Structure 1
Amino acid sequence: MSSKESGETLKPWCPFCGMDVGRPTEAAQRKMTEFPVGRCDCGAIYVCDATGHNIGAAMVECLVYACNDEWDLAWELMPEDDYLTGRVEDYDDVTHQVVPKRNLDGRAVRGVLYFVRLHKEVAEIAERFREKQEALARQEGAAAKTVTPPAPEPRRDPKRRKMRASKQQVRELAAKEEIDVLVDLCLDDGRTLRFLQRLLYDPVEASRYHTAWIMGQVAARVSAREPGQVADLLHRLFEACADSAATPWGMIEAIGSIVAARPDIFGAFTRHLLGFMGDRSTQEAVIWSLGEIAAVRPDLIRKTPFYSTFHFLGHDSPTMRGLMARLLGRIKAKEAAFQVMGLQGDQTPITIYEQGRPVETTVGEQATRAVELINSD
């Protein structure tokens, strides 16, 4: 009698090669709908849906992972013709076992490991896409400001007395830009980031931008120790932005600040910002956020259909025109050079926020700076 027939627990295996597979782990880059991911020695990619209720999303994400995050390529592929799929059911993500009885120590087991293996020709195409994107990132990143990821936060003494956060305390620390204390507070009390998020609900624009910048600085360091806490914050911010019954004050700006501070971890969130360009009330925040990310990782913007925003260079809002010029300059958009040059004579004054503080400038100044970047080596 086999182990499966006897109801004994089993080590998870790859349905393609039969080899045991390791425990899926969180991806290096966090995404909107993330599942732990793994790779078999035979080249198959697999993700874990711990509940068994999100298999559709897991299937899509697994295929995109296999395509090295090239969404356009993933959508063009056909099952069987371009890739094979497989699944291992009754998977328990807690113990990394397959439990045929679907119950372990009184706990229901309903997890699924979903596998995708690209055919050789398609895998080679996906690899070429990856190499091309890495080369583009190196080329564009050389001309942009580089961000050195913060060193891992030192482990706190587990015997120390942990701090507890309060709304008033977080408000005061943010106003004083006490980043070190806020980071300690986040690592001690998971409510800290929620309290920071609440500070975004402020009718004063300058206060919202300042809070967004503070959140980016804090999140950058917290994510070096607990990236999941920051990923949860990003999910909440996106959900708040999508709520049609609420005004997303500062939410998109906070997302942009966080991604710009740690694009190595959260860069995959960039493409989702464009989903808010359809609402006039959030367009300015989206372009500002994309500009923040473009300053450090222009390749992340180029991975999105950013060209759909070119027409905003003629927007009736001068701030939007200036922000568009700023964005296109930072990604060296040679394809829009003539349109940007057309704004150099626009002396309309605008305010753009940099590092949480207002900077007085003009549309023409932003356009001139953009042209210089586009024409630089």
Structure 2
Amino acid sequence: MKQQQIKTRPHCPFCGDEVAQPQDQDQRKLGEFKVGHCQCGAVYACDATGHNIGSAMIEALVYACNDDWELAWELLPDQDYLTGRVESYDEITHQILEQRHLDGRYVRGVLYFVRLQKEITEIAQQRAEQKRDYLPPVEPERDPARPRQRADKKEVQRLALAGDIDGLVALTFDDVRTLRFLQRLLYTPDDDQRWWLAHVIGQVCARVATRQPGVVSDLLHRLFDASSDSAAANWGLVETMGSIIAARPDIYGAFARHLLRYINHVSTRPLVLWALGTVAARRPDLVRANQFYQLFNLLNDSDPLVRALTIRLLGRAGAREVGERLQALSREQTPVTIYEEGRPQTITVGDLAAEALKMTEKVEQA
């Protein structure tokens, strides 16, 4: 006698409530799983084949953390989050089929559940609110049937010097070599041009990363590799890395700590301080998480530019610990030139220290 198929709706393993059918994420990328969330706070990812449980687990965990990969990797199972799974799930009919077959096909789907502990949920929400202040909108999808442009060095240079971010983004989507041409333009003795190009590359990468984060990650790796050659380190590489990380710290924030490997070289020290200070303007937590207290002594450096860039960095990072030293430096009238958004700005060390004091006081009051 044929055994009767038992069909039930999937329920949350934590609260027992029935859960809705998983859906594609709003910003779906290749290889992602469909996801959903329960009223109790748990989230789940669907592995329709049952062969990618590990990937589904990561998907659910990152989704629970509001797509914050950095936070997700720091969490510990059982301590920071709980997990559960529902097997024999059929994605098509949104049912649990105990016999694991329906209409001649096997059913092997799994719903993988993650529920963050309350304090971790609060941290994830706070970090998500910080990110909303600077996340660029997702670039519109390009028509795959469109005639594609081919990048060449002269055209890329023309667009970059003109600050045509729209044109460079469109060209990058058509021809990823655009980013390589931009990198090559950094090798110029013109300081103003090099800083401008670093800013432009950061802005272009911020928008390209909404669709193709991998190509930007590849560029960052190339820049770090090139910077390992001390002869090349001064040619716009460190400042470009800082610009890219600062433009999308939600994706590339983990790269920030690697900038510190260049802090002991006299030629690259100001560039590292500038890069970290630019990142700190948007994500001070990324800087504070990397033993930034080791930089406090640079407030006494003999180079006024190093002092100024350290002040800029520590102020943006909310370093209350150096309040007294900033107070003393606020009386220094040495002028320095610092690049902001690719353009030079002249300011005194004292004025920078006064601004930094205000920033640290706001942090203390908060």
Q: Report the TM-score, using the length of structure 1 for normalisation.
A: 0.64
Q: In structure 2, how many angstroms separate the alpha carbons of the residues matched to 1:134 and 1:253?
A: 26
Bigger Rg over Cα: 2
The answer to whether the 8 Å contact 1:37/1:45 transfers is no
- 1:215 counterpart SS class: helix
Matches within 5 A, 1:158-307: 161-223=147-209, 227-242=210-225, 245-246=228-229, 247-248=232-233, 249-261=235-247, 263=248, 266-279=249-262, 280-281=264-265, 282-298=268-284, 301=287, 305-307=291-293
Query: Unpaired segments of 5 or more residues in structure 1?
Result: 2-12, 29-33, 89-112
Question: Structure 2 CA distance, aligned partners of 1:197 and 1:46?
Answer: 39
- Identical positions, percent: 34
8 Å Cα contact 1:22-1:38 kept in structure 2: yes
1:70 Cα deviation from its structure 2 partner:
8.6
- Rounded to whole Å, the distance in 1 between the matches of 2:73 and 2:167 is 44
Q: How does 1:1-377 map to 2 (within 5 A)?
A: 36=32, 39-41=35-37, 43=42, 69=68, 75=74, 77=76, 83-84=82-83, 117-118=114-115, 123-133=117-127, 137=130, 147=134, 149=136, 161-223=147-209, 227-242=210-225, 245-246=228-229, 247-248=232-233, 249-261=235-247, 263=248, 266-279=249-262, 280-281=264-265, 282-298=268-284, 301=287, 305-375=291-361
Distance change >3 Å, CA 284–CA 176, structure 1 → 2: same
| Alignment deviations for residues 201-246 of structure 1 (CA, whole Å, 9 cap, x no partner) | 33444332111111123234444xxx24354223331343146753
The C-alpha deviation readout for 1:110-163, integer Å capped at 9, x for no partner, is: xxx996735xxx52231122245457x49xx9xxxx6584x6656667665432
Say if 2:223 and 2:241, in contact at 8 Å, map to a contact too: no
Deviation at 1:367, TM superposition (A): 1.2
Which one-letter code corresponds to 1:233 in the other structure?
V
Task: Identify if the C-alpha distance between structure 1 residues 189 and 244 changes in structure 2 by more than 3 Å, giving closer, same or farther.
Answer: closer
Unaligned runs of 5+ in 2: 3-9, 88-109
The one-character-per-residue Cα deviations of 1:309-364 (angstroms, maximum 9, x if unpaired) are 33332334332221121122234433332222232233444321112122233322
Do 2:60 and 2:114's aligned partners in 1 also have CA atoms closer than 8 Å?
A: no
Return closer, same or farther for 1:303/1:80 CA change in 2, 3 Å cut-off.
Answer: closer
Report the 3-state secondary structure (helix = DSSP H, G, I; strand = E; otherwise coil) of the residue aligned with 2:310.
Answer: helix
Give the whole-Å Cα distance in 1 for the aligned partners of 2:293 and 2:177: 39
When the two chains are superposed, the root-mean-square deviation of aligned CA atoms in Å is: 4.7
- The alignment of Structure 1 onto Structure 2 pairs a total of residues equal to 320
Structure with bigger RCO (C-alpha 8 Å, 6+ apart): 1
